Structure 1
Amino acid sequence: MILEKKGIFSDKEKPEINYPCVWVYKVIGEDCSLLKEEIVRACAPHDVTITHSHSSSKGKYHSLNAELTVPDEQVRLGIYKQLKSADAVKFVL
Structure 2
Amino acid sequence: MNEKIPQQSLKGCKPEIHYPCVWQYKVIGMERQAIQAALSKKLGDAPYSLSESRTSKQGKYISLNLELTVHNEEQRLHLYSALTADPSIKLVL
TM over 0.5: yes
Tell me how large the CA RMSD over aligned residues is. 1.6
* Larger radius of gyration between Structure 1 and Structure 2: 2
Give structure 2 stretches of 5+ with no counterpart: none
Structure 1 distance, partners of 2:31, 2:39, is: 12
Match of 1:51 in 2: 51
Give structure 1 stretches of 5+ with no counterpart: none
- 1:82-93 map, 5 Å: 82-93=82-93
Asked whether the 8 Å contact 1:38–1:86 carries over to 2, the reply is: yes
Structure 2 distance, partners of 1:36, 1:53, is: 14
- 1:70-85 map, 5 Å: 70-85=70-85
Please say if 1:39 is aligned against 2:43.
Answer: no
Percent identical pairs in the alignment equals 38
Q: Deviations over 1:17-73 (max 9, x none)?
A: 000000011000101000111122222342111111100111110001110011111
Match of 1:3 in 2: 7
Q: TM-score, normalised by structure 2?
A: 0.87
Q: TM-score, normalised by structure 1?
A: 0.87
- 1:21-40 map, 5 Å: 21-40=21-40
